[in-house]
A and B are shown apart, each in its own frame.
Chain A
Amino acid sequence: MRIPHAILSGVLVISVAACSGTQSGTAPSEAAGGSEIKVGLLHSLSGTMAISEVTVRDAELLAIEEINKAGGVLGKKLVPVVEDGASDWPTFAEKATKLIRQDKVATVFGGWTSASRKAMLPVFERYKALLWYPVQYEGLESSPYIFYTGATTNQQIIPGLDYLKEQGKKKIFLVGSDYVFPRTANKIIKAYAAANGMEILGEEYTPLGHTEYSTLVNKVTQAKPEAVFNTLNGDSNVAFFKQLKSAGATAESMPVLSVSIAEEEVKGIGVDNIAGQPVAWNYYQTTDNPANTAFVKAFKDTYGQDKVTSDPMEAGYNAVYLWAEAAKKAGTVEVEAVKKAAGGIALERPEGLVTIDGETQHMYKTARIGIVQPDGLIKQVWDSGKPIKPDPYLKGYPWASGLAQG
């Protein structure tokens, strides 16, 4: 019962020494000098988000490897420092700090959920370091230290709505997971609907990880909408589509447009349950251009022929190339110089031409609607024709004026 204090203090001495040992053991790497450039990769490798984020990390590692094979950046090899965000937002902030302060990486590629980005944002702004965020998100943000290589709302949600409108769908039901992206997206959808003569029949949220959808399916089918706009995330999609299908709903009678389901997720949901349903993204594995053929081949050769490529993976893959291009143009990996050089950079990527908008640090991207095919891939049925200028605050849309103050 009595506490052996002397021993405890001994343990504490050792642990303090161990702490300081860890960091004196790491030689401070020069971001500019030396023959290597360290870059951080920060995704969830464990926990609920690992499912999605591991694939993005793989795509980023592939890009780094390819760049190194082609001679590196500014004559130096890129060395990835991989950290685990563990699907836990404070951990993202902690690991970001570690990458910046201890590993002194030139830039970080990372994040998936909005929550992880919001948690990392103050860290990157505080230390004036650079984050490349590869996933479509809810907009209303433009940090000077983040580059957003996924779509903002006017490159995914709004084109999705345009598509439904073209299809003559006027009565919409909104279903989403209970967090910031679906809530913001639905706010935008409601404003759009009001301005375009569409009717919103219902708006329902379920907790993340929710798997019991019979009540919700009952609500949806009773409301008899012409289409459902789905912003559910992760495992909930599996339960929702299985239970919707068994309730007899079909893609013909009531299409469900999803914005968080890509090739990877289709496998887990089961093709039978989702074939024929529309999704909105900027890239599909089937997107037809030479850059994509090369990307898909390289990815399958590296990670296995049964692997698929998806929009966030492509956006992560692009991020590494775009940063490398900016660093080459700047002649240094120093953050402010890279930021300045990045604006206007245009590259042919698997999704087509991607241009960095210097002002918002978002990308010009082409919007695409696809239909899930019986083989699990997604076939494009509609696109915006040309890359859409990013507009995270929707300033160019009069009906969206009340949504958020800049």
Chain B
Amino acid sequence: MEALVNQLPIGLSIGAVLLLVALGLTFTFGQMGVINMAHGEFIMAGAYTAFLLQDLLLALPAAFLVAGLMGLILERAAIRHFYGRPLDTLLLTWGVSLVLQQLARDLFGAPNVQVAAPPWLTGAIGILPYNRLFILALAVAGVVAVWAYLGHTRQGRRTQAVVQNRQLAATSGIDTGRVDMLTFFIGSGLAGVAGVALTLIGPVGPALGTYYIVDAFLVVVAGGLGQLRGAVLAAAGLGLLNSYAEFWSDASLAKVIVFAAVIAFLQVRPQGMFVLRSRALT
């Protein structure tokens, strides 16, 4: 019974990890419709930033900048030529992700590297260790920041305007190119932050990104494109489902159950939990 109760906070903390890796995608995929397969490698870049600095608090803003700049370069150099062709971007960014993985291997070596966890994160409250709580807090802070940015800053409102109707926004005098750039910078930067957090619980190596990318997309798809509350609910739901499914069966089956649940859910709500209403046809 105790174990059963323990699974609840565990599920939420799994959800927090999912949310953190998916938060950046709600920007790049959700707001801009860009399927960025290199998102996982931006997470990896964040983790390596933490490795280079070996200081968690310093690494958070640094990783945001590093991954954000990588995203900015990618957007300016390639992706901006691909708006309106989401499937092509998918393939393009997959190529980028391959190159980045090999680059990490050449720069840092193939073996995993070590990031020392700060001493103040050792310990636990109940079943949840401090480092899990830290991730939970970081996820909450991320969501609040994103919500505040989108809803309560001038730039954020511009972003939303561009998402809802690009042409109209452009004719209203919004520099859509600038908005795209900034959106991609923030989305990629959030991936970097997630990468720093992941060093607390997982391996830091060239393959890091590949472990999280599919899950991250599932969260965004299940939550609904560009829907912050959808992503939060989806991440929590999938985290809890994963935690209980694994508790009653095993880790392999739990993954399959989660996949099946998302596919089944899309049958009921093909566009995810929340849908951005639009009059556009296709």
Contacts and interface: CB of A to CB of B under 8 A. Distances in A.
A–B touching in complex (CB under 8 Å) = yes
Interface of A: 46, 48, 50-51, 54, 178, 204-207, 209-212, 214-216, 218-219, 222, 235, 238-239, 242-243, 246-248, 264-265, 267-272
Contacts of A267: 111-114
B158 interface: no
A235 B199 CA distance: 12
Interface of B: 2-3, 6-7, 10, 13-14, 17, 102, 105, 110-117, 121-122, 124, 127, 129-132, 200-205, 207, 210-211, 242-243, 246-247, 250-252, 254-255
Nearest to A223: B3
B127 A218 contact: yes
Given A209-B207, A238-B202, A268 B3 contact: no
The dominant DSSP class at the A interface is: helix
A51 B112 contact: yes
Given A247-B124, A268-B113, 8 more contacts: A50-B105, A214-B243, A215-B242, A235-B207, A238-B202, A239-B203, A242-B201, A242-B202
A248 B124 contact: yes
11 contacts: A51-B112, A204-B250, A207-B251, A211-B203, A214-B13, A214-B132, A235-B203, A246-B129, A265-B112, A267-B113, A267-B114
A219 B132 CA distance: 17
Contact of B10 (A178, A214, A264): A214
A272 B54 CA distance: 14
B250 A269 contact: no
A264 to B, nearest CB: 6
Nearest to A203: B250
A206 B242 CA distance: 13
The dominant DSSP class at the B interface is: helix
A242 B207 CA distance: 18
Nearest to B215: A212
Nearest to A215: B246
A235 B112 contact: yes
A173 B2 CA distance: 19
A42 B18 CA distance: 38
Contact of A211 (B10, B110, B113, B201): B201
A218 B202 contact: no
Nearest to A48: B207
Contacts of B254: 215
Contacts of A239: 201-203
Contacts of B250: 204-206
Contacts of A246: 117, 121-122, 124, 129-132, 200-201
Contact of A216 (B2, B114, B251): B251
A211 B202 contact: yes
A205 B201 contact: no
Nearest to A236: B203
Given A48-B207, A235-B205, A239-B203, A215 B251 contact: yes
Given A212-B14, A248-B124, A268 B255 contact: no
B126 to A, nearest CB: 11
Closest 3 CB pairs of A and B: A268-B112, A238-B203, A246-B129
Contacts of B105: 46, 50
B114 A270 contact: yes
A212 B243 CA distance: 10
B129 A210 contact: no
Contacts of A204: 250-251
Contact of B3 (A207, A219, A270, A272): A219
Contacts of B102: 46
A207 B122 contact: no
A267 B205 CA distance: 12
Contacts of B255: 207
A196 to B, nearest CB: 26
A205 B17 contact: no
Nearest to B254: A215
Contacts of B251: 178, 204-207, 210, 212, 215-216
The residue in A222, A246, A268, A272 that gathers the most chain B C-beta atoms within 10 A of its C-beta is A246
A209 B206 CA distance: 12
